[in-house]
Amino acid sequence: MAIRSIHDLEVYRLAYSLAMKIFKCTTRFPKDEIYSLTDQIRRSSRSVAINIREGYAKRRYENVFIRHLNDAFGSAEETRGWLSFALDCGYLDKDFCAHLDQEYDQLNAKFYRLMNNWKSIDA
């Protein structure tokens, strides 16, 4: 499949979908977490998708593209850390958190493949 836009990248679609799941589940977090855990987890989850998008826009420059993918990977791991806090604070269901963690595993695998095969995408 030809890559004509950012929306054709499966890694971007998954990152965006995860950010929206994070947004929806954090609407139930306590109000006293709004400027701490809620804000942090939303920012980091959105940063994943945005870094992919920015890197894709600069994909002609190998080092810049790879750097943005690495930043996105780091933000994904940051989000997983915040998910652990949310679980331990009792804000998330264990099964839901495990499901998100599996999806982040899939996302990270996609990052690895894309970073190693970025030239094969039909940009």
Domain ranges, ordered by start, for the chain: 6-118
The dihedral through the CA atoms of 74, 87, 22, 29 has a sign that is: negative
Flag whether pLDDT at 106 surpasses 60.
yes
* Residue 117: band (very low, low, confident or very high) from pLDDT cuts 50, 70, 90: confident
Topology adopted by domain 6-118: de novo design (two linked rop proteins) (1.20.1440)
Of residues 4 and 24, more confidence is placed in: 24
Determine the pLDDT at residue 122. Answer: 44
The mean pLDDT value of the chain amounts to: 93
CA angle 123–58–122, rounded 5-degree value: 10
Q: Is the pTM of this model over 0.85?
A: yes
- Written as one string, the DSSP assignment of 83-100 is HHHHHHTTSS-HHHHHHH
Nearest to 14 by CA among 49, 40, 41: 49
Half-sphere exposure of 38 (CA within 13 A, CB side): 14
Of residues 81 and 113, more confidence is placed in: 81
